[in-house]
Each structure stands twice: as structure tokens, then as C-alpha cells.
Chain A
């Protein structure tokens, strides 16, 4: 049995902020629980108060804003994304990445926003969202603020979220609707293990190639933009190698990770990894 804690399920964004304010560091946001409850069982985390955000109806929605951007609410699960026809048609890389997370049961609970907030260097949604130039919508005491997702990750399991703040949604730019984008990931056991490394790549309509690499640094990393009208493979691979510092661990050596990243970049440039 888990240790004792209190559970709150506020019905509005303001109530969530108020609950966070009254409990400070003792409180933790609960969405899908597929990371948090494991940490609590393993005593890696011991929040005294859980604030369940699934009581706010808007957070479970996948919507299009007035400018045509895609909005993914904080309680939207990975399977919601995998099964959403609009996402499959227009942002298939998100469905591809979401489908690589955990097992089917896990994807029924795990949320896209939770995957980002857990801020694992291996976070599957991070790469896909980085190459779509997404932003993170953060609820604060003074209203909402929005930051580019590349500013969100600051360390292993560390985000730029401040006290009494939480992520309420992710905005994916309409500019990247129907953009060519793909995601490739290596893992030892599909459905269970974390990835050994992963690469996401997009070709925007503005003529840029964006590449993001996971499990090779303390955070998922976005490379500087490349020119898609004049692909210089040697330069892309050199830049990628300069920007990653993989470690040796049980999932693979640093040399193996570097090799995989180069193979994945080449495959993605050749149009592989673009379906789900």
C-alpha cells in the first residue's frame, strides 16, 4: 500500500492554482499517473498532496484554435492522440511518437503533457513536439504564459516550471500542419523499455529542416535549423555529433548511440519513419 497522502480533484484551472498555492512543494500534479505513481511506490517521490487535473473538462480536449493551431490539453492521453483522425491526417508524427510509448494500457492513461512534464531525456513526445515548433501553455497565479518547448527542458527530469505553475496545454503551430515529419526510436523491448535513443525530423513549409534528438543529452535537444532546399548531409551529421553527449549505460554505449543517431537522420531524410 502507498503511504498516506491527500487527494484533490479541482474543477477549474483557478482551483488547481489555489490548491498548489496552499500546499506549495508538498503538492504534485496527477494526470495519467503512469510515472508519478511508480515514483511514489519506489519512494523516489513522496508528495503529501496529489492534485488531479482530470476534473477540468477542457483539459481532455484536442482542439483547433482561431489561428488553426492544434491544442492538446493536459489530460489528453497518448491513445487519444494515436486515435485522433485530425492528428493522424495532419500531424502524423505525433501519433507515431505517441504510439511508441509504453504498452496499450499505459497509453490509455499516460498523457502527452505528462510525458513532457516528466522531462525524461528519452521523452518520446519531446522530439516530435520540438520539430513542430510547439509551445507550452503554462497556467500561473497571474494568468497564462506561453514558452517555446525548447525552453521547457532544463535538466534530467527538470523543467522551467516555477512554483504554483502547471502546464495546461501544448500548442502545435498550424505552420507545421501537413509538414513532412518523421520519428524513429531504438529500444530494446517494444512496449516496456525506455528508448536507447530517438530522432525526430521535420521539413517545414518555410524551407527549414528541424532535427531533435532524445536520450543523448541531459534533455531532449533541438539542433539549429538546416536549409531544406540545399541538404548538406555531411554538415547535418557533423552538427548533430557536436550537439550530443551520449553516455554509456545498460541500453547502449555512447558510440552505439552516435551511430544510431546518424543512421536515423539519414533514414528520416530519405522519408522513412513518416507513417504510424
Chain B
């Protein structure tokens, strides 16, 4: 399969019975992608595939042939966190951190399709991401502030 991941092109052979999650973690060592439930409930494995969030545990690696994938590893540039990640840090939106990569990918997708989301829209965007430390308030605040920051950047 040929796939572009975080702006890098890969050409690899992969057996049919492996999920995209297994391919990313075990073949490419992109360990930011987490496996929680493995059944599409918890969202810890959320990545962007052709710009859309998917549960990588429910996508076969072969289905990702000729797609563009983004994972948490591609979000910071030159060792610097992006504004959304900075906002998570500022609001203490990360507790144990297991859900964070998936939540950030869901939030990234939200902010790319809606620069001024209402709180209800933020909640809907992350409804597929479980946080069992239950820091949802901080997560919602972090996304809301990142949206405001990004919007003011666009206006500049």
C-alpha cells in the first residue's frame, strides 16, 4: 500500500487482517495513536483520514491505501506545539494523557470545518472520545480558547 502520513510518503506491504491502528503503531511506531476499546467506542485511536476523523481500530490498513493520514505526531512542528496543543497545556486539559491524542485530532477536525464552534458543537465533535479522568470541562475550555485564538489569527 501507498499512503501519506504526516506529510511523509510510505510504500509498504501489509497483511489484510491488520487494522490501520496496528499498522500505525506497530509498523511505523507512531505510538501517539492509542488502542483503548478496539471497537470504535472510546476514540483513543482517532486519526484523520483524507481530512475526516476515523477510529483507526475499525479501518483496515488496506482500506487506507492511497489516502492521506494525520496523527498527533504531525501536529507539532520543529518541536513547537501548535495553538490547540498549547491551549490544552494552559487549561490542564490533559490528565493521564491517554485520550489526549484522539481528542486533539477530533478537535483539529472540528476547528478546520468550523472556526467558531458553539459549546454544543464542541461537545458533539468530541462525543466519540472518552476521557476517564473526566476532565471534559478543561478539554472544552481548551478547544473553545484555541478557536478564539485561531479566529483572531485569521482576522489579522
Q: Which residue numbers of A lie inside 8 Å of B, CB to CB? A: 1-7, 9, 30, 33-34, 37-38, 41-42, 50, 52, 54, 79, 102-106, 108-109, 190-192
Q: Which residue of B lies closest to A79 (CB)?
A: B52
**Chain A: minimal CB distance from B12 (Å):** 15
Q: Is the CB of B16 within 8 A of A5?
A: yes
Which 10 A-B pairs rank lowest in CB-CB distance, beginning with the nearest? Answer: A103-B128, A191-B127, A7-B16, A2-B17, A105-B128, A108-B52, A105-B53, A37-B58, A105-B55, A38-B39
**Chain A: minimal CB distance from B122 (Å):** 11
Interfacial chain B residues near A2, Cβ < 8 Å: 17-19
Q: Which residue of A lies closest to B58 (CB)?
A: A37
Say whether, besides A1-B17, A105-B46, A7 and B128 are in contact (CB < 8 Å).
no
Q: Is the CB of A5 within 8 A of B17?
A: yes
Q: Is the CB of A34 within 8 A of B125?
A: no
**A-binding segment of B59-67, B83-91, B133-141, B146-154:** B59-67
A3 to B52, CA, bound (A): 28
Q: Is the CB of A33 within 8 A of B18?
A: no
The yes or no answer to B38 lying at the interface (CB within 8 A) is: yes
Interfacial chain A residues near B19, Cβ < 8 Å: 2, 37
Interfacial chain B residues near A7, Cβ < 8 Å: 16, 60, 62
Give the B interface residue count (CB, 8 A).
27
Interfacial chain B residues near A54, Cβ < 8 Å: 63
Which of A42, A79, A105 has the most chain B CB atoms inside 10 A of its CB?
Answer: A105
**Chain A: minimal CB distance from B104 (Å):** 13
A106 to B16, CA, bound (A): 21
A108 to B53, CA, bound (A): 7
Q: Is the CB of B58 within 8 A of A33?
A: yes
Q: Is the CB of A106 within 8 A of B18?
A: no
A105 to B16, CA, bound (A): 22
A106 to B129, CA, bound (A): 11
Give 17 A-B pairs besides A38-B58, A104-B128 with Cβ atoms closer than 8 angstroms.
A1-B18, A2-B17, A4-B17, A6-B16, A30-B60, A38-B39, A41-B38, A50-B60, A103-B43, A103-B128, A104-B106, A104-B124, A105-B40, A105-B106, A106-B55, A108-B52, A109-B59
Q: Which residue of A lies closest to B55 (CB)?
A: A105
22 pairs, A vs B, C-beta closer than 8 Å: A1-B18, A4-B16, A4-B17, A33-B59, A37-B40, A37-B58, A37-B60, A38-B39, A38-B40, A54-B63, A103-B129, A104-B125, A105-B40, A105-B43, A105-B53, A105-B55, A106-B40, A106-B58, A108-B52, A108-B54, A109-B55, A109-B59
A168 to B35, CA, bound (A): 33
The yes or no answer to B73 lying at the interface (CB within 8 A) is: no
**Chain A: minimal CB distance from B14 (Å):** 11
Say whether, besides A2-B18, A5-B17, A6-B16, A104 and B58 are in contact (CB < 8 Å).
no
**Chain A: minimal CB distance from B102 (Å):** 9
A74 to B144, CA, bound (A): 36
